Amino acid sequence: MSLKFDSYEDGSKLIFKLEGMLDMMTFKEFEIELKQKLAPHIFTVGISMKLCRNIDSSGMGSIIRLINDFKRKNITLFILDPPTNIRGILKISQIEKYIPLSTLENFLTI
């Protein structure tokens, strides 16, 4: 399965949109693409998962690595609009303790 990326900036925020599956076949490319989009003026990153169909343990590991990496760089990371199945996985893994879940609309007002 493939994963498509799209991104845009809104001031000091980066919105990184995913479409497809974040899994063992796509997580490395996801991390590389996202990190390449970071600029010195970006302090907040929102990963939009609205069109993401599924996430496996490799994808979760990727999110956790990004949380740790961004924390060291003083970048705040949000997960935006996860579909119900992914929201369930995020809740079970208790990742919400480390990364806020939000909507794109709310994220843009922060």
Choose among 52, 2, 48, 47: nearest CA to 25. Answer: 2
Instruction: Give how far Cα 73 sits from Cα of 12, 41, 68, Å.
Output: 14, 12, 9
pLDDT beyond 90 at 9? yes
> What digits encode the pLDDT tens for the residues 37-87?
999 999 999 999 999 999 999 999 999 999 999 999 999 999 999 999 999
- Token look-up 């995913």 returns 18
Number of structural domains, the chain?
Answer: 1
Cα gap 42→74, rounded to integer Å: 10
The pLDDT of residue 1 is: 61
**Token reading at 39:** 């600029």
Q: Does the reported pTM lie above 0.75?
A: yes
Q: How many CB atoms lie within 10 A of CB 91?
A: 12
Domain that residue 79 falls in: 3-109
Q: What is the CATH number of the domain that holds 81?
A: 3.30.750.24
